[in-house]
Chain A
Amino acid sequence: MKLKRRIFLKTALVMASILTLSKILPNDKVLELAAEEAKKMLQGEEEPIHIVWVHSQSCSGDSVALLNATDPSILDVLLGQFKNIGEVTLDFHQTLSPQWGVDVVRGEKGDIAKEWDAVEILEKAKSGEISPMLLVLEGAFPDESKAGEGYWSSIGSLNGEPIKATEWLTEAAQYAEAVVAVGTCAAFGGIPAGAPNPTGARGVYDVLGRDFRSKAGLPVINIPGCPAAGDWQTKTFAHLLLTVKNLLPAPELDEYFRPVFLYRNTVHERCGRGIWYSSGKFSSEYSQPYCMYELGCKGPIVHCPITAIPFIEGVGICTEYGSVCIGCTDPRFPDSPLSPFLKALPAPTMPIDLAAGIAAAIGAVLGASITYKARKAKKESKVEEVSE
């Protein structure tokens, strides 16, 4: 068999990537996978993975953040830096797709118009004709039963009628290899679900159910953040693409279905101002360079990757730059105890005018008390989750 140059290169890349994986997976499994993948490629059998990205009650912030990603960038993904694991196509994205909706309700609809119609893509995704599909959701999903004769969130028009986002999601999700909720709204409901939640907004895992499993056997994967930084997104996508290809085990998830490799630590645990906290030095005015606990920082109770993976190419870390953590990755955002954002967590007040040594001792005690509180809060929310 004669290898075409492109296929040859691809095979070489697959081999290379699998060799690096051999550090993670047992050796015979790696060789088996390598042989299988190489065979598929040589026979031209590999099917591209289709990304379908739908916005419901969103602000598009996660899409903009996606364009911030550099490690890898979204163009790296789409233009083929990942060809070694197969092609990836972006079949639909509200903010980037060339096509738009062309719902002809009077007059003929020719082939060019049909081909250009974005709604045709949404309809195919909903009926399982796009496969394998990585379904990405942005924004919260409302309770349409509260909208009477109308609707809260429509993603297009079919025969002159709105396509309700929540209904579309329920149908499309069953055909997805993996379902990813990007941003706090899609993950947990976010601000649209903030008290008193006028539209009954929910996160994807509450629409589909927390026992939902995708075709690849995965629950909904949450990448919360308001928005989730681009690199957090592309790192998760890259991992999932490998999982869908059977090249990597599924990412480990925490109790809120967030990848542990990103959300393991609290902001406080890796905060560059942590040293001021432990030595008891606190900012009493905004723009001062010390720990902002007194000014309302919620870093001690919020799990977020930002201190480890900053927002854009190493630039942008909330607490180190002087912004209190407002807890935007947290399931409780934007409600209590994260808000009021500029008021301190209800815990012992720090006497900042004490001598440094005494303050340090108190800081240490305070640290312990907050950690305990955080643990307790977490435990309580876990109980809630089970009782649901």
Chain B
Amino acid sequence: MSIREIYLDPITRIEGHLGIHVVIDTAQKKITDAHSIATMFRGWEIILKNRDPPDAVYITQRICGVCPVPHAYASAIAVDMALKASPPPLSIVLRNLTDVAEILYDHPIQLFQLAGPDFSALEMKKFNPSFYAAAQSYPCKWRDVHGYATIKDIMDAMDPFSGEIYIFTLKLERLARKMASLLGAKHPHINTFVPGGVSRTFTANEAEQLASMVVALAGFSKFVWTIWDDMISFFYDQGYNVVGEEPVNLLAFGSIEDPESYDATYENMSEWASKRMIKPGVIINGKLVEKDLKKIHLGVREFVTHSFYNDWEGEAEYSSDPEGNSLDPRHPWNKETKPAPTSTNFNGKYTWSTTPRWQKGNDIYPMEVGPLARMWTTALQTVDISDPFVSISSGNGKITVELPETRSDLLPPSLWDAMEISWSPPGKSTTLERYRARAFSHVYYAASALHDMYLMIDLLNKGKTKLWNKFERPQLSFGVGLNEAARGALGHWIVVMNGRIHRYQIITPTNWNVSPRDPNNNPGPIENALKDSPITEETDPSDWVGIDAVRTVRSFDPCLACTVHTYVGGRLVKKTTINVHGL
């Protein structure tokens, strides 16, 4: 048995700083062990402590320049709740559309600029030449839509910086960020979400401009889906679906509020969250075991056994939530984090990521989050939307989206025709299926944007144009904001004391996915997906660069700035002079 040990560090083409340590058995051509290492820390929450609660909406999104809006939205929900604000329906539609706009750029940038090069001619020729040879004669099912005859043509066009697809998709991604800027005043990092609604001044003129963007992006989603559906079919036929498999333990918080149901209260959270376009849910061993968002939230735990932090054991402040439900000491409302950098040791501490787990009964489960998780939980619940712009139906394990005609001068005419796209849970969580679910998630979000456009026009017609309601700064209150970032379930937790931030906690999607071993020594989802995963590189073992490992890592679309944001320090509220001006 011959062993290679490699630190794949930096893992480029993701957000932020991640290293992966892999041990490879060259005779069996597989990875025998893996550790995921988050290598950067900033200390976000101590910076948040004692600040004015609305500032959290601006500051927390700056954790991540790739996925700021889901942070801003999660934070706005948490702060709405804590500051007892109830945003008007039109402001929720605008928040939804800003959030969706971001996903409409974030998925394609992952698929075409970040992961794409791993499937491009540049890398296929170097590391998987036999796949590239097979691609020459492999016809594309969706040729009439995306315009490429063979998989080889797609691979050539995916070459970084110079490929036709690489360049085309960059432009459409920019359009999506432009849409987010139109609503958010800028992007990355939007400035228009405030507790109680939005601060955006909004007129019918902007509605028209938005509509043309949404239509172009909906047409673009046909391209995103057909390219990746064809690519994945090809890789299936090369036997690639054995790479990066891990157990079907999936968690989604759901996203895209129903503007008439959302009231920002903890009391009604189970109800309004169940009306989301993307459904909350927990799947364990392939079975949907929970879909009530409040119960999902109460089951969240965080550990630091293998992370560069000291424990907060015995310092939990709250034994129950605002409704009297029992609150675990390891729940985010109770957590204090204490960074303690030390040398790296795989038996001890080795990463700046913490270890979130979900508790059911006495068991704690590692959870994969991301497009595969949220499309899976949505496919098992009912969605039934049919308006003049779009139809979306879901339930019994199948989602079907009917995208309308999308005539836009930004798109080739082959993307103009109406198109029906369906997706069903694949039964397994693998590298390929994570990519396919991401492409379908793009379609689903594009359809949601069309639906929200309809809701906006409907509200404008009814004269419901209010965009903001007042908030207060209570003596003691709690907030939780759960949302989906492009890369999965994102949670913000806030405790307000004396009108200021007493505690602010964030568990990002990548926290779940790149988490290290937990107290039971169970690996996190990425570590687990890499273990026993085969190597397909065709070069001499001395030249293996770990392309299958990085394809797998990137299939989780990790975002490290998000992951390591954490907080430290004192629990006493500092006395500070309060500015009496303003609100």
| Chain A residues proximal to chain B, CB less than 8 Å | 55-65, 67-68, 70, 75, 78-79, 90, 93-113, 116-119, 140, 142, 147-157, 160, 162, 165, 190-192, 194-199, 201, 226-227, 229, 285-289, 292, 294-296, 306, 310-313, 315-318, 321-324, 326, 328, 334, 339-347, 349
Contacts and interface: CB of A to CB of B under 8 A. Distances in A.
Interface string B159-174: 0111000010010011
Nearest to B24: A107
24 contacts: A59-B15, A61-B189, A63-B65, A67-B109, A68-B187, A94-B16, A94-B17, A98-B117, A101-B11, A107-B2, A113-B542, A118-B12, A162-B344, A190-B62, A192-B42, A227-B189, A295-B199, A315-B178, A317-B185, A321-B200, A322-B198, A322-B200, A343-B52, A343-B582
B202 A64 contact: no
A101 B173 contact: no
A241 B114 CA distance: 27
Contacts of B569: 196, 198
B498 interface: no
Contacts of A194: 47, 59
A141 to B, nearest CB: 11
Q: Which of A68, A119, A190 lies at the interface centre, i.e. has the most chain B CB atoms within 10 A of its CB?
A: A68
B44 A344 contact: no
A107 to B, nearest CB: 4
B52 A341 contact: yes
Contacts of A111: 543
Given A55-B16, A198-B569, A316-B181, 6 more contacts: A198-B42, A288-B201, A289-B201, A292-B199, A306-B186, A341-B58
Q: Which of A60, A113, A191, A321 lies at the interface centre, i.e. has the most chain B CB atoms within 10 A of its CB?
A: A321
Given A60-B561, A344-B581, A96 B113 contact: yes
B551 to A, nearest CB: 11
Contact of A287 (B55, B58, B114, B197): B197
Contact of A103 (B9, B14, B113, B341): B9
B579 interface: yes
Contacts of A157: 7, 9-10, 19
Nearest to A342: B54
A79 B174 contact: no
A377 B205 CA distance: 39
B308 interface: yes
B333 to A, nearest CB: 22
B199 A340 contact: no
B19 A287 contact: no
Contact of A152 (B40, B184, B467, B579): B40
Contacts of A201: 42
Interface in B1-31: 2-17, 19, 23, 26
B227 interface: no
Given A67-B173, A191-B62, A153 B126 contact: no
Interface in B461-511: 467-468, 470
A341 B55 contact: yes
Contact of B199 (A79, A97, A324, A346): A324
B65 A343 contact: no
Q: Which of A64, A110, A326 lies at the interface centre, i.e. has the most chain B CB atoms within 10 A of its CB?
A: A64
B174 A68 contact: yes
Contacts of A95: 12-15, 114
A374 to B, nearest CB: 17
B43 A198 contact: yes
B51 interface: yes
Given A285-B468, A341-B58, A198 B178 contact: no
A104 B4 contact: yes
Given A105-B5, A285-B468, A344 B15 contact: no
A322 B114 contact: no
Given A64-B65, A96-B13, A198-B568, A316 B182 contact: yes
A68 B167 CA distance: 13
Given A61-B188, A106-B4, A79 B343 contact: no
A60 B510 CA distance: 15
B158 to A, nearest CB: 11
A289 to B, nearest CB: 5
A341 B55 CA distance: 6
B207 to A, nearest CB: 14
Determine chain A's interface SS by DSSP, over half rule.
loop
Closest 7 CB pairs of A and B: A61-B65, A150-B341, A198-B43, A316-B181, A323-B191, A343-B582, A340-B52
A94 B160 contact: no
B192 interface: yes
A345 B201 CA distance: 22
B419 to A, nearest CB: 27
A113 B188 contact: no
A100 B12 contact: yes
B39 A151 contact: yes
Contact of A59 (B62, B109, B202): B62
Given A60-B561, A322-B185, A148 B59 contact: no
Interface string B541-557: 11111100010000000
Contact of B186 (A58, A148, A316, A343): A316
Contact of A195 (B39, B47, B68, B109): B47
**For chain B, which range describes its interface: under 10, 10 to 19, 20 to 34, or 35 or more residues?**
35 or more
A152 B7 CA distance: 18
B40 A102 contact: no
Given A102-B8, A287-B467, A311 B42 contact: no
A65 B65 contact: yes
Q: Which of A98, A155, A191, A287 lies at the interface centre, i.e. has the most chain B CB atoms within 10 A of its CB?
A: A287
A226 to B, nearest CB: 6
A298 to B, nearest CB: 12
A55 B65 CA distance: 12
B123 interface: yes
Nearest to A93: B12
Contacts of B184: 316, 323
B40 A153 contact: yes
Contact of A62 (B65, B160, B167, B544): B65
A65 B188 contact: yes
Contacts of A324: 191, 199
B19 A312 contact: no
B196 interface: yes
Contacts of A315: 178, 181-182
Contacts of B3: 106-107
Interface string B37-51: 001111110110001
B46 A198 contact: yes
B177 A286 contact: no
A220 B561 CA distance: 25
Given A288-B201, A324-B191, A340 B185 contact: no
A68 B189 CA distance: 13
A78 to B, nearest CB: 6
A286 B467 contact: yes
Nearest to B94: A287
Q: Which of B3, B17, B51 lies at the interface centre, i.e. has the most chain A CB atoms within 10 A of its CB?
A: B17
Nearest to A325: B191
B161 A59 contact: no
A194 to B, nearest CB: 4
A161 to B, nearest CB: 9
A109 to B, nearest CB: 6
Contact of B10 (A64, A101, A142, A160): A101
A94 B10 contact: yes
A341 B579 CA distance: 11
A32 B114 CA distance: 44
Contact of B161 (A62, A75, A109, A150): A75
Contact of B65 (A151, A152, A227): A227
B468 A100 contact: no
A86 B149 CA distance: 37
Given A68-B174, A75-B167, A107-B542, A101 B9 contact: yes
Nearest to B343: A149
B185 A321 contact: yes
Given A75-B161, A315-B181, A198 B10 contact: no
